């Protein structure tokens, strides 16, 4: 049996988000389904509102949307009372089959993701992942992604852990345990959402935020390419500011740019004596 490859860099693992990070450029699959799920109850939710809590587990996402004053006002006008936990459950039960049915349409790898994962493996780094998607949704997404070349060493779903999801550190730390990583300070969390960056920081990891490919910009690759340069720059800058404010150590356009950043993190680790 071949011995495990020793990391070339002074790092041990990279923990990725899924939608907007490895697959689904623009993180479109979950956003549209939230809009449609609320619409089935007669509640209008805009795409911008639906994107606001992205990165949370889907049940927490629904809870957060119902806490939005404008959405809550609609709910009370329609149903004559404030929303309760039973209403969150009802929306979630409506959301789940819709998300399961649609997620496969958004399983395409983000350009550069396959090459980046191959590069990480060549460096001897372990590859973890976690998602706000429930396990039932990942059970559909993962085989489709695997066929296309996206297969981390470990995956944690948004409803796998009793402790909860983002912005808590638990999903990221579950990867650390499963991958037998000895130092969270030598792990890098890569995510396109504010809760995902907070998750990585709360877990004590280096954090890299993604702008153009992710939820903060929220456009397809074709839409981003067609944007006037000034608009694309402004959208990138706005996304970078939000991710940096959440604690991202570095911010890049997409996962394709990650190897260069990991080299910079490695240099800082060596300078600080973490080998």
Helix (H) or strand (E) holding 76: helix 69-79
Spatial contact of 158 and 134, defined as CB atoms under 8 Å apart? yes
What ranges make up the beta strands (E) of the chain?
13-16, 126-129, 187-191, 206-210, 250-252
17 among known catalytic residues = yes
Q: Over the range 104-114, which residues count as b (16 or more CB within 10 Å of their CB) and which as e?
A: eebbebbebbb
Beta-bridge mates of residue 126: 13
Helix (H) or strand (E) holding 172: helix 170-178
Which one of the listed residues 17, 24, 160, 257 is annotated catalytic?
A: 17
Half-sphere exposure of 112 (CA within 13 A, CB side): 15
Q: Which of 115, 114, 95 is nearest to 103 (CA)?
A: 95
Give 92: exposed, middle or buried? Use CB within 10 Å, 0-12, 13-18, 19+. Answer: middle
Peptide bond into 167 cis (omega under 30): yes
Which one of the listed residues 24, 58, 253, 257 is annotated catalytic?
A: 58
153 among known catalytic residues = no
Beta-bridge mates of residue 54: 56
Three-state DSSP at 188 gives strand
Dihedral of CA atoms 40, 44, 48, 54 in degrees, nearest 10, equals: -40
Helix segments in 104-148, DSSP class H: 113-122, 135-147
Cite the active site residues.
Answer: 17, 58
């Amino acid at each position: 049996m071949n011995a495990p490859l020793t990391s070339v860099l002074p790092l041990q693992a990279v923990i990725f988000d899924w939608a907007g990070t490895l697959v689904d450029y623009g993180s479109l699959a979950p956003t549209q389904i939230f809009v449609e799920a609320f619409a089935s109850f007669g509640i209008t939710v805009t795409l911008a509102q639906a994107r606001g809590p992205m990165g949370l587990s889907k049940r927490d996402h629904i809870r957060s949307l119902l806490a939005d004053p404008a959405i809550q006002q609609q709910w009370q006008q329609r149903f004559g009372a404030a929303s309760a936990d039973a209403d969150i459950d009802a929306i979630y039960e409506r959301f789940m089959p819709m998300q399961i049915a649609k997620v496969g349409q958004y399983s395409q790898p983000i350009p550069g993701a396959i090459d980046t994962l191959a590069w990480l493996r060549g460096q001897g780094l372990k590859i973890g992942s976690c998602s706000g998607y429930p396990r039932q949704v990942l059970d559909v997404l993962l085989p489709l992604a695997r066929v296309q070349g996206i297969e981390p060493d470990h995956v944690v779903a948004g409803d796998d852990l009793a402790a909860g999801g983002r912005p808590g550190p638990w999903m990221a730390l579950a990867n650390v345990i499963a991958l037998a990583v000895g130092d969270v300070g030598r792990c890098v969390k890569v995510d396109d959402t504010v809760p995902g960056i907070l998750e990585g920081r709360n877990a004590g990891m280096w954090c890299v935020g993604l702008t153009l490919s992710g939820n903060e910009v929220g456009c397809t690759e074709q839409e981003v390419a067609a944007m006037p340069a000034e608009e694309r720059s402004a959208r990138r800058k706005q996304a970078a500011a939000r991710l940096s404010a959440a604690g991202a150590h570095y911010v890049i356009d997409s996962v394709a740019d990650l190897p260069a950043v990991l080299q910079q993190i490695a240099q800082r680790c060596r300078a600080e004596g973490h080998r």
